[in-house]
């Protein structure tokens, strides 16, 4: 059965919300019935396109990937990251979100930003577009992943993020993603909100978790953030398979009679 916004985001204090990223049809097919939310993240800029910033993904690239993911998702909800744009005005932001939703049929959008998103979220709620807000470390604010800083080390950070999160909750956000922050900050934000928090590098106290699939599956060897637990080592397994394939080709063991047309 297809998950609904209500069934997923009403899980607060009941059951954890499971989320992962995906950018392709085939991978989405694999994880579809195992997760609640698939995020077509702008992290594809790093893990697919080899860029050092998430700012390089534009709306058309997002549309291409989100369309493929949504086509494969029969059970999970599909949210997409609103790509970075220099024009962050309310009118342009709303226009872009509605355009991508129309072209992809995604179930919702994740938007990085603070209280400046209040009116955007209110308007999108009227248009029945679910919004996942994104607070804490916001990658689109940085030109390079090397410049990322953990959120919550300044005295004013706690009061600000609580104020921002309550504002966005009141505006109509269905959830708030908390990224790269001190445990005590994430825990307090999760406690004060009625809507669920989704954590990435924000402790186990959030109502749900998300990871970049390529990180979680070990596609980069040992090169991954501190908060990532590797549940497999696909980079190692892929190398083993390719070496075996190469050896069999060189030894004329592949293709053999089983794999040819006589």
CA separation, residue 30 to residues 73, 74, 235, 244 (Å): 10, 11, 18, 25
Burial of 262 (0-12, 13-18, 19+ CB in 10 A): exposed
Residue 94 to residue 44: CA distance in whole angstroms: 23
Residues 53 and 243: beta-carbon distance below 8 Å? no
Residue 127 to residue 238: CA distance in whole angstroms: 44
In 105-199, where does DSSP find H-type helix? 118-126, 157-171, 183-192
Supply 148's token pair: 């990322």
179 among known catalytic residues = yes
From the list 179, 204, 214, 248, the catalytic residue is 179
Residues 36 and 17: beta-carbon distance below 8 Å? yes
Residue 73 to residue 65: CA distance in whole angstroms: 12
Q: How many CB atoms are located within 10 Å of the residue 188 CB?
A: 17
Angle at 105 between CA 100 and CA 110, to 5 degrees: 55
In Å, how far from its chain's centre is CA 116? 21
What is the Cα gyration radius of the chain?
20
Angle at 8 between CA 195 and CA 64, to 5 degrees: 105
- Tell me which residues are annotated as active site: 179
């Amino acid at each position: 059965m297809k998950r609904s916004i209500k069934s997923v985001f009403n899980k607060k204090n009941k059951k954890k919300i499971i989320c992962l990223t995906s950018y392709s049809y085939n991978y989405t097919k694999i994880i579809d019935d195992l997760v609640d939310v698939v995020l077509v993240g702008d992290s594809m800029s790093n893990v697919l396109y080899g860029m050092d910033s998430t700012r390089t993904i534009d709306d058309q690239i997002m549309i291409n990937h989100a369309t493929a993911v949504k086509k494969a998702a029969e059970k999970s909800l599909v949210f997409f990251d609103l790509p970075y744009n220099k024009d962050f005005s309310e009118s342009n932001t709303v226009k872009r979100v509605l355009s991508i939703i129309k072209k992809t049929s995604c179930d919702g959008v994740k938007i990085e930003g603070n209280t400046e998103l209040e009116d955007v979220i209110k308007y999108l709620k009227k248009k029945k577009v679910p919004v996942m807000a994104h607070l804490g470390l916001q990658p689109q604010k940085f030109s390079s992943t090397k410049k990322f800083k953990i959120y919550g080390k300044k005295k004013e950070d706690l009061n600000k993020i609580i104020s921002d999160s309550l504002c966005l909750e009141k505006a109509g956000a269905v959830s708030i993603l908390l990224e790269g922050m001190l445990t005590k900050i994430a825990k307090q934000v999760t406690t004060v909100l009625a809507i669920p928090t989704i954590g990435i590098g924000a402790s186990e106290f959030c109502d749900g978790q998300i990871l970049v699939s390529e990180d979680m599956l070990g596609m980069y060897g040992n090169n991954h953030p501190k908060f990532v637990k590797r549940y497999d080592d696909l980079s190692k397994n892929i190398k083993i398979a390719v070496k075996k394939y190469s050896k069999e080709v060189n030894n004329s063991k592949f293709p053999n009679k089983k794999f040819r047309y006589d």
